[in-house]
Structure 1
Amino acid sequence: MSRFFVNKLNEQIAAYDLHHSQWMIVYYLKNFGASTLVDIANYMNVEKSSVTRTADRLEKNALIERIPVKDKRERRIQLTDLGEEVYTACRQIVDEFECNIMKGTTEEEQETVIKTMLRIRANLKNIGEINRNTQTEIVDSI
């Protein structure tokens, strides 16, 4: 279902030469302001290298720009004026897309789905934490 959703969303925003992962970064920067690639990777729950490649493409297309920082190891980015314009245009497309895919569902059903997905996400994070703790206990007992 996720891949199908992403593919359909990609079709919707293709006119702006964006893909889902690029949209996620543009969305993040618009809603949270200038950020580091590490912050964005944590938000998206992906590796920093994936965000770096995607940010490079966004920078090449003049949608984001680097902000000078003292620590050269840190890369901080923000939307450009063009990035702001593309966000506004794509936000309308994404809103319409989301309305279309939710047709026929009640608000209560939508709230239930959202709560369920948030619970599943929290459980997935907990599984990773439980596995790390179990591995540590096993190593400590050896």
Structure 2
Amino acid sequence: MHSHELFHTLHQLSRHLTNKLNEVLKSFGLYGAQWAVIFVLKSKGSLTQKELCEYLFVEAPPMTRTIQRLVKQGYVKQVPGKDKREKHIQLTEEALNEYPKWEKAVTDHNQSLLKNFPDESQEQLFALQSAWLKNLL
């Protein structure tokens, strides 16, 4: 496979998966980018916007818009840090209450995407993804 085919195929797959995830989350008033922030905050706790950007490989302007939408929806709050310029982003009680529904929808979607892959292939896929990501970091 030529490298341009790899990038093209990965881009197509990424776009398709993102669109499918957005369809699943639409009924909750969320998008994939918002889910990514919510998921990271749920698993890692309070983070600064800079830490979220670094972890999710997202530039500051789109992250700012995503956080602002989540604040407006009542799902995250910004808590001032030691440095006045620094704000920690945290999930609200409302988000924590809604999280199990969102997680179930995403988990069900993940399972439907993988249903035609044998367990061994799924394990190989996840191992390759993890190894590749580690090499990029």
Q: TM-score range by the shorter chain?
A: 0.7 to 0.9
Q: Does 1:108 align with 2:94?
A: no
* Equivalent residue, structure 2, for 1:131: none
Q: How many Å separate the matches in 2 of 1:63 and 1:48? A: 19
CA distance in 1 between counterparts of 2:43 and 2:136 reads 25
Residue aligning to 1:134: none
Output the amino acid matched with 1:71: D
Match of 2:76 among 64, 76, 89: 64
Task: Give the TM-score normalised by structure 1.
Answer: 0.82
Amino acid at match of 2:54: N
For residues 1-142 of structure 1, the aligned pairs below 5 Å read 1-125=13-137
Which one-letter code corresponds to 1:74 in the other structure? Answer: E
Counterparts of 1:119 and 1:80, CA distance in 2: 34
CA distance in 2, matches of 1:79, 1:34: 8
Corresponding residue for 1:139? none
Q: CA deviation at 1:90?
A: 0.5
Task: Give, as a single letter, the amino acid of the residue that structure 1 aligns with 2:32.
Answer: H
| Cα deviations by residue, 1:11-37 (Å, 9 ceiling, x for unpaired) | 011111100000000101111111111
Could you tell me which runs of 5 or more consecutive residues in structure 1 were left unpaired when the two chains were aligned: 126-142
Distance 2:125 2:79 in 1: 38
Counting matched residue pairs gives 125
Between the two proteins, what is the percent identity of the paired residues?
A: 33
Structure 2 length-normalised TM:
0.85
1:101 and 1:28 mapped to 2: Cα distance?
A: 22
User: Aligned with 2:27: secondary structure?
Assistant: helix
Runs of at least 4 residues off by over 6 Å: none
- Would you say the 8 A contact 1:9–1:94 is kept in 2? yes
Write the distance in 1 (CA, Å) between the matches of 2:60 and 2:28.
24
Q: Which has the larger radius of gyration?
A: 1
CA deviation profile, 1:97-139 (whole Å, cap 9, x unmatched): 01100002122111111121223333444xxxxxxxxxxxxxx
Aligned equivalents of 1:95, 1:114: Cα separation in 2: 15
